[in-house]
Amino acid sequence: MTILVYLIPVALLAGGLGLSGFLWALRSGQYEDLEGAAERILIDRDERPEC
């Protein structure tokens, strides 16, 4: 049962990482244009740099 001492914090840490990743994505505006993001993958941009 001592393994729980490691496993529980590890599980929480992993979950916490995911949560903070989500919050970061939210703050950096990645959810502001969901439809646009879905359509943009269809655009070829060989010569055009990311804007």
Partner 1 sequence: MSCCAPGAEMALDLNGATSVLPSSQEIRLASRSLGDDLRQTDLSVPTVHCAACIQTIEAALGRLDHVESARVNLSTKRVAVRWRGDEVPPFIAALGRLGYDAHLFAPEIDDKDKTLAELIRAVAVAGFAAGNIMLLSVSVWSGAEGATRDLFHWVSALIAIPALAFAGGIFFRSAWNALRHGRMNMDVPIAVGVSLAYAMSLYETINHGDHAYFDASVSLLFFLLIGRTLDHVMRERARTAVKGLSQLAARGAMVLRGDGARDYLPVGEIEPGMRLLIAAGERIPVDGKIIQGTSDLDCSLASGESTPKNVAPGEAVQGVLNLTGPLTIEATAAAKDSFLAEMVRLMEAAEGGRAQYRRIADRVSALYAPVVHLTAFVTFLGWIAATGDWHRAMTIAIAVLIITCPCALGLAVPIVQVVAARRLFENGIMVKDGSAMERLATMNTAVFDKTGTLTLGQPRLVNASSIDPAVLAIAADMAAHSRHPFSKAIAGFAAAGGQHKFDAVTEHPGFGIEATVAGSIWRLGRRRWAGWKARTDGESGHGGTVLTKDGGIVASFVFEDALRADAGAALAQLNDAGISVEMLSGDTADACGDVAGILGIDRFVSALLPSGKAERIEVLTKAGHKVLMVGDGLNDTPALGAAHVSIAPATAADIGRNAADFVFLRESLSAVPLALDVSRKAGRLIRQNIAIAIIYNAVAVPIAILGHVTPLIAAIAMSASSLLVIGNASRLQGFVPDEPRRTAPPDRRSHTGTLAQPS
Residues at the site binding partner 1, with contacts judged by CB under 8 A? 1, 4, 8, 11-12, 15-16, 18-19, 22-23, 26, 31-36, 39-43, 48, 51
Least separation, in Å, of the C-beta of 41 and partner 1? 8
For 2-36, letters b (16+ CB in 10 Å) and e give eeeeeeeeeeeeeeeeeeeeeeeeeeeeeeeeeee
Least separation, in Å, of the C-beta of 38 and partner 1? 8
Closer residue to partner 1 (CB): 6 or 43: 43
